[in-house]
Each structure stands twice: as C-alpha cells, then as structure tokens.
Chain A
Amino acid sequence: MTAVVMNLVVQGTRPTIPDVGVFAVAAAIILAGAIGVVVARNPVHSALMLVMTLFGVAVMFVLQQANFLAAVQVIVYAGAIVVLFLFVIMFLGVDREEDIAKEQLRGQRPLAVALVALGTTGLLLLGEVSKWTAGQPYVAGTDTGAPNVNLLGKSLYTTYLFPFEATSALLVIAVVGAVVLARRPPPGDRMTTETVLGAEVPNDAAASGDAPADVLGDAPEVEAEPAPGETPSVSPGAEVDA
C-alpha cells in the first residue's frame, strides 16, 4: 500500500507547459497577496490583498479538478467573509494608516521570524524526507481526477452526514452568538459583554480626553454607571451622560 501511495505522490510523468504556467502565475498571485495582507498598513488594503490570495487559491483548486470547491471558495470566502471584514472595517472606521515600523515589543519580530522560518524549514524538510502516510484511503470515495461534484455530494450526505448536521448546529450557534455580542444592552442590564468590558472606561476616558463609547453614539446610559467598588474618576463625558 505504501508503495502505491508513494508512486501516486511522486507521479513521474512530466507536467505540461500550460499547467506549469498557470501554477506559476497563481502561486505568484497567492504569495504576493499573502505578503500584502501582512505588510499593508491600511486594513482595507489587507482585505483586498486577501481577496487576491483567495482567488489564487481558487485557481489552484481548479488546477486540481476541485471545481466545486473553487466556486465555493470564491462565493463564500471572497464574496461573504471578506465582505464581512470590509463591512466591519468601515463600520468601526478603523480604515486609517497604522505605523507598523515601530516595534511594540522589543525583540518580538526577530523572534517571530526565526520561529516561523524554523517551522517552515522543518515542514519543507518533512515533505522532502518523510513518506506521506495516509491511514486508510478510499474511505469517502475515490477522487477520479475528473470534475466530481456528484461524488463530493454523495460523500457529504452519506459518509459525512453527521459532521454535516453538526455544522448546521455550529452555524446556528454562531448566528446566535453574533446577535448576542453585537446587540445593544437594554438599560439597567449590568451583566452584558459591554458592561463587563467597559469596567475600565472612565480611566481611559479621563486619559484620552473623550469617551470611547461615544464613537458609535450608542448606549451612553450604561457608561454612566461605573463598576461597583471602583472609584468613579472624573470624566467629562460621563458627567454629561449622567
């Protein structure tokens, strides 16, 4: 079995010129986008670079006959997730430049680069020297290499039916969680996320000169009451709200 798997991995036949060209261009797009996400100073630029990477990955999926996943990648990732990111960036108004030249934590960046380089080198060496083992293949059905939406659907609704149903529960939980997190707390309700997170707000407001809660212009009545046991510092915003 191992010999069969190894033969499949190695694949002695030579790739065709168009395949190599498409792979090279898509890989360049993916890498440029990935580096752009990390080094862009503006979060909006990061999100757009992320779209570029996602499209490149979709091209890679097409190149490996995963057509359905390529479509889902573009629709769900580029169409929904990145739009959600952009929506939150615009909603919060944080689409301003950030000074990334300043290192916040001394020695963190060299350490991070060294650790990641070490891990990546190990990973690439592992791919070079080790035998990829795959347990028991053909559990879910054989990938024939042809476009295989029907095979994917059959596997999803038979072999992986229980995980599929579990994801539906996960999505419902995520929706409920997002609603609970994002809703405005009713006045007088003290034990919400916002009141707990807002325990330090009077000090920050005194330090920065304005009340952070007024940025979105909501829930001033919650801010007016400081957490019990904490001395209410003098905050102009809080006094006006009270």
Chain B
Amino acid sequence: MSISASWYLALSAVVFAIGALGVLVRRNVLIMFMCVELMLNAANLSFVTFARTLHDIGGQVLVFFVLVVAAAEVVVGLGIVVAIFRRRASTNADDLHLMKG
C-alpha cells in the first residue's frame, strides 16, 4: 500500500508555510507571485491526497480548477507588474506607495 496521507498533508503544510513566509518576507513582486504559486501547489497536493484518501474524484477536479485560476491570476498579475514597471522602473513592493495618504 502507498504512503499514509498524513505524510502528504504534513509536506503540504510545510510547503504552504514556506510560500507564506516568502510572501511576507520578500519585497520583489515577481518572487512574491512565485511564492503564491507555491502556496497554491501545496493546496493542490492536499486536494489530491484527500481525493485518494476519501475515494472522491472531486478533489482532483478541484485541482483542475485551481490550475485554471492560477493561470488567469498569473496573466493578470504579470500584466499589472509590467504596467507598473513601465512607470516606476521597479518591481519592489516598497516603492508602490501611491495610495499612501
């Protein structure tokens, strides 16, 4: 029989934590985006694990949707980054304080 689900879930939690830490600590917008992708992948791993464990294919269908949403999110997010970079010449999140009062 295959590996117990707990190992997959623990790995998923750790990868999610690393991704969250990256979003909090890094200041480069592109790297923050990549860390968001890490967190999405950790969630995907959990979904597949639960799909196998609970014998419900819905988890795998949900991973499919997460993939689509991640692709759309990356396209729009990188479009925003390019639009900002044209004006500010920076991808540093600390430079983006236009809405500061």
B13 to chain A, nearest CB (A): 5
B7 adjacent to A23 (CB under 8 Å): yes
A156 near B78: Cβ-Cβ < 8 Å: no
Fill in one digit per residue for B44-86: 1 if any A CB lies within 8 Å of its CB, else 0. 1100111111111111110111011111111110111111111
- Across the interface, A88 reaches (CB within 8 A) one of B17, B64, B82, namely B82
Q: Given that A72-B64, A112-B21 are known contacts, is A85 also in contact with B30, CB under 8 Å in the complex?
A: yes
**A219 to B83 alpha-carbon distance, docked (Å):** 12
Most buried by A among B13, B17, B24, B76: B17
Verify if A152 is at the interface (C-beta below 8 Å from B). Answer: yes
The answer to whether A156 touches B64 (Cβ under 8 A) is yes
A108 contacts B by Cβ under 8 Å: yes
Number of A-B residue pairs having CB atoms within 8 Å of each other in the complex = 281
Q: With A92-B91, A119-B17, A120-B14 in contact, is A80–B56 under 8 Å at CB?
A: no
* Complex partner residue of B86 from A34, A137, A216, CB under 8 angstroms: A216
A15-B4, A213-B86 known; A134 and B54 CB under 8 Å?
yes
- Is A9 close to B, CB under 8 A? yes
How long is the Cα–Cα vector from A200 to B11 in the complex, in angstroms? 45
Residues of B within 8 A of A212 (CB): 86-90
A193 / chain B contacts, CB cutoff of 8 Å: 83
Are B57 and A8 in contact, with the CB atoms below 8 A?
A: no
Residue of A with least CB distance to B79: A181
Report which of A10, A77, A124, A180 forms a contact with B13, defined as CB distance below 8 A.
A124
Q: Point out residues on A near B: beta carbons under 8 Å.
A: 5, 8-11, 13-16, 19-20, 23, 27, 30-31, 34-35, 37-38, 40, 43, 46-47, 50, 53-54, 57, 60-61, 63-66, 68-69, 72-73, 76-77, 80-81, 84-85, 88-89, 91-92, 94, 98, 100, 104, 108-109, 112-113, 115-117, 119-120, 123-124, 127-128, 132, 134, 137-145, 148, 151-152, 155-156, 159-160, 163, 167, 170-171, 173-175, 177-178, 180-182, 193-194, 197-201, 204, 212-213, 215-216, 218-219
Query: Which are the 8 A-B pairs with shortest beta-carbon distances?
Result: A212-B89, A140-B58, A181-B79, A174-B72, A13-B1, A38-B22, A112-B24, A120-B17
